[in-house]
Structure 1
Amino acid sequence: MILGGTEFVGRATAVEAVRRGAEVTVFNRGRHPAPAGVTSVTGDRLTLESLPGTWDAVVDTWSGAAEAVERTARLLKGRAGHYGYVSTRSVFRLDDPTRLVDAEEAGYAGDKLRGELATEEFGGPVLLARAGLILGPHENIGRLPWWLNRLARGGPTLAPGPRDLPLQYVDARDLANFLLDSAAAGTTGPFNVISESGHTTMGELLETAAEVTGGRAELRWTDPETIAAAGIEPWTDLPIWLPPGELHDFLHGGDVTDTLAAGLRCRPVRETIADTWAWLQSLPGEAPQRPDRPAVGLDPAVEAKVLGE
């Protein structure tokens, strides 16, 4: 059973589970088409009163209020063998990554931590998959798709440095594999589900993406000080990128020793980039965008001004 199952991580998990020969049920609000080979059940988790059936494993990708996690975990108690909840490394405090944020904290981090706590209602084996930056085909946040479309347009392109800046992320399909493998093995507890720090660099990411999209872009590596002086926001105006410093170290320096030992395997960055570009080219229109997340990307006029100066 996949709670979600039609977008990004949920879709990747459903597709992989079907490929492995599993009987897959996806439960969601029916706003997006489900992958081939699954049984779809439509409903609203916030008002759900029953969820009949039994399952070997459940994967939960919910990112909103923890009430939904608490409700489904309680309803599935005794009727599923394993509960995998996709959480986030944002549950850790920025100033002390060994400690969790306050359970009363508002916003995304607080919702995810409360979701983790709500899985206790399941009363059985629970995996907390604390993902970091997630990339890959069917991304509905727009980070890697924005870069690929920008590089495909070609011409002088602002490339945020330093070029050797290490990145740490997980391909949605590798996250899906870890969730399914963990369910089969009965793995429990919290794991930072991301690649090793430095799995790729900003330079390798953009240079590979420029090559994959046709080689029309001229990367102009620009130092963080120049970018900041221009009022360009890391992460939002320039997706994926954070300048060296505390926030970068937090997001791209997580300890994954236990996760690798538990079986996480991360594909090369070129495969993630090439497959995402192939997916984008297959779409009849624009890439999907989550309505609860702001659009990302740099204003072309701002980019041109910085490069001109």
Structure 2
Amino acid sequence: MRLLIIGGTSFVGRTIVGDALGRGHEVTTFNRGLTGKDLDGVEALRGDRSTDEGVRPLAGRRFDAVIDPGGLVPAHVLRTARAVADSSPFYAFVSTTAVYQAWNAEVDESATTWPGVADQDGDPADLAHLPVHKRGCELAVEQTYGLGACLVARAGSIVGPHDNLGQLPWWLTRIAQGGRVIAPGDPARGLQLIDVRDLSTFVLAQVEAQAAGMHNVVPDGPNTTMGRLVDTCVQATGSDAVPVWMDEGFLLSRGVRPWTEVPLWIPDVPETAGFWAVSGASAKAAGLRTRPFGDSVRDTWGWLRSGGEVEAAPGTPPLGLAGEKEQQVLAAWDSAGVLQRRRTGWSGWAG
């Protein structure tokens, strides 16, 4: 197939480009040439879809499908979709499960989303409005192509080599340093993490089949736990790190911020009971297959060890506790007299 891939130089886009080339497709990338280097074997077009003039390089080009793995501004995606609508019969957009409004119960594709606007403009680095903007991007594609000629892949939390989000790399890097490591809440808390390579395989398979639809691209159920995450990072790095499992209430009382200061931690409270309970049944029925989570951890560590670095996307907040704050929280936990109680039963979770 002749594929146009928007961006195509970092994380999800880079992985899709590599997979597409490996499948024998002819790949053209369209980007500004600023974020990263195009992979060998592609035809690279330069342009900027934030303006009408910027998408002119697409004029007169014909493709069997367009894959848009990173659109963040609805107006930019709308401009792109309109520019290729007459010359490319299928459009695949990688969105996010963050478009859903409520997380107090399991969500599927029918759940209420944020009210996006298809022609809304904005700053791609404005991640505070990511849920609304991503929904607007979905609408831009749907309104231009119609539901029968587009794929919307709502990805969950993505991990794997060439990560530009940094959550799993943070855990690996911190655990590799050794010592006592703060671990949040119940080690049995389930997580749903999708490997970027499995996401890529799914998207390309749908594109090859011209299979329109909307899917939550997540494992259909938890594919690891917080305890297994920590344990597998210890095994992969060969570290002597010792996790210190702390009550979530204690962490919050010490001002520790979920998700950013302790990546992948979402407090287990009623308001977020569905955060790691997104239905992946639709994607599974459409062919999504997911690798063992331990493979994602080991391959990500291998990438980091080979010189890979997280090049954070614009607007991404810094991850992880500052060393001084981490030591202060550990000391406060020791003073509370509960360290020994929470240490017991940690080791033994399989990767």
For the aligned pair, the TM-score class normalised by the smaller chain equals over 0.9
TM-score between the two structures when normalised by the length of structure 1: 0.95
State the match for 1:277 in structure 2: 301
Aligned amino acid, residue 113 of structure 2: L
1:44 is the counterpart of 2:66 = no
How far the C-alpha of 1:17 sits from its partner, in A, is: 0.5
Does structure 1 conserve the Cα–Cα contact (< 8 Å) formed by 2:184 and 2:245? yes
How far the C-alpha of 1:247 sits from its partner, in A, is: 5.1
1:157 is the counterpart of 2:187 = no
1:112 is the counterpart of 2:125 = no
CA distance in 2 between partners of 1:132 and 1:49 (Å): 29
How far the C-alpha of 1:49 sits from its partner, in A, is: 4.0
CA distance in 1 between partners of 2:161 and 2:30 (Å): 21
1:304 is the counterpart of 2:327 = yes
TM-score between the two structures when normalised by the length of structure 2: 0.84
Change (3 A) 1:218 1:95: closer
State the match for 1:92 in structure 2: 100
State the match for 1:231 in structure 2: 255
CA distance in 2 between partners of 1:248 and 1:206 (Å): 21
User: SS state of the match for residue 33, structure 2?
Assistant: coil
CA distance in 2 between partners of 1:102 and 1:121 (Å): 18
Does structure 1 conserve the Cα–Cα contact (< 8 Å) formed by 2:48 and 2:55? no
Change (3 A) 1:154 1:181: same
State the match for 1:76 in structure 2: 84
CA distance in 2 between partners of 1:164 and 1:271 (Å): 20
5+ residue gaps in structure 1?
none
Q: Which runs of 4+ in 1 moved over 4 A?
A: none
Change (3 A) 1:235 1:134: same
1:218 is the counterpart of 2:242 = yes
How far the C-alpha of 1:107 sits from its partner, in A, is: 1.1
State the match for 1:249 in structure 2: 273
User: SS state of the match for residue 154, structure 1?
Assistant: coil
How far the C-alpha of 1:205 sits from its partner, in A, is: 0.9
State the match for 2:349 in structure 1: none
State the match for 1:35 in structure 2: 39
- Find 1:56's aligned residue among 47, 50, 64: 64
State the match for 1:6 in structure 2: 9
May I ask how many residue pairs the two structures share in their alignment? 308
How far the C-alpha of 1:21 sits from its partner, in A, is: 1.0
State the match for 1:172 in structure 2: 196
State the match for 2:210 in structure 1: 186
CA distance in 1 between partners of 2:37 and 2:181 (Å): 36
How far the C-alpha of 1:95 sits from its partner, in A, is: 5.6
Aligned amino acid, residue 178 of structure 1: F
User: SS state of the match for residue 24, structure 1?
Assistant: strand
Change (3 A) 1:78 1:63: closer
Aligned amino acid, residue 253 of structure 1: A
CA distance in 1 between partners of 2:307 and 2:241 (Å): 22
How far the C-alpha of 1:134 sits from its partner, in A, is: 0.8
CA distance in 1 between partners of 2:212 and 2:271 (Å): 28
Choose 252-261 or 41-50, whichever is displaced more: 41-50
CA distance in 1 between partners of 2:231 and 2:55 (Å): 51
How far the C-alpha of 1:197 sits from its partner, in A, is: 2.4
Post-superposition CA distance 1:83-111 (Å, at most 9, x none)? 11011111111267521112259811111
CA distance in 1 between partners of 2:231 and 2:300 (Å): 15
5+ residue gaps in structure 2?
121-127, 335-351
